[in-house]
Structure 1
Amino acid sequence: MHERLANLLGAASLAVTDLVLAGATRTAGVSASGAAALVVLADAPGLGVTELGRRVGLTQSAAARMLDGLEAAGLARRHRTEGRAVHVRLTPAGEDTVGEMLAARGAPLTEVLDALDDTERAALTDLLAKLLTRLYATIGDADTMCRLCDRHRCVEGAVCPVGQAERDATGSA
């Protein structure tokens, strides 16, 4: 019944993913998981290696290897705390890179959206919010879903649909 629509959504999703990842990885000079890790750390500095890996879809050992590369590039730094805990923070160069990366990620998306008029963009905004709420019900993890989001843009004059879905699911305010 929705086969054509599902196929169009799939093709559009892949094309958008390709644009987002190409802009982010090219600008940062890192892998897709490295780019996601930089964005995650910008929003949640001081995460542990295991939690950072979970948010970007890597095992603890793969996250540690990815962090080796980010440290070698001067973008992130590990800080050992009490016991064996290790927390990760961006360096100033990492913070600058995140800003550049989010701009590079957003530019092709803005260009694509220019094909729509104001009314169509408003309708698409509402539809995407509804789809993201449904996707949250399936995925159940806002941190994972929003790992490459420019979180500040999502809440300008609005409520993030993924964050709201998570609050609704967990009963938090």
Structure 2
Amino acid sequence: MTLAAFREDGSINVIVESPRGATSKFKYDATLDRIVLSRPLPSGVVYPHDWGFVPSTRASDGDPVDAMIVWDGFSYPGVLVPCRPIGILRVEQTNPKSGARERNDRLAALPVTAPRHDSIADVFDLSERVRAELEQFFVAAAFFEKRDLRLLGWDGPEQARAFLRSSLV
């Protein structure tokens, strides 16, 4: 069975790989049908929120679209969380294998079943401080990976949905 990116109600599916508080990056390996250890994060760096991917999508780096569930809860690797996209952080990085520059944008989403976050419709409803902390997490997590991460800015939920539609496989 192939899991769709979009649900019938217009929300999206996000599969958690690395839960909030994880000190290692976990990644789904389709050939093994398992979530596997990718690498430890730098010392002192932890995932601030659940991190995963949107199934049935492919970003320009060849992987499924990355997604961070920006909420105060946490789940576990492999959990499917129905979400609504609230924005996207545009990112450019160096591919460590080819040395070429590539986009690797990150989706920001909230669970549809978390009513205390209903007042957040757009990534710009998050404080500037929260957005800056998310940016610094991505920079710190990639620091030793020779990716030369460059943050290009945030876009809102409509751009996030358009990006997802253009990434469907």
Higher strand share: 2
TM-score, normalized by length of structure 1? Answer: 0.28
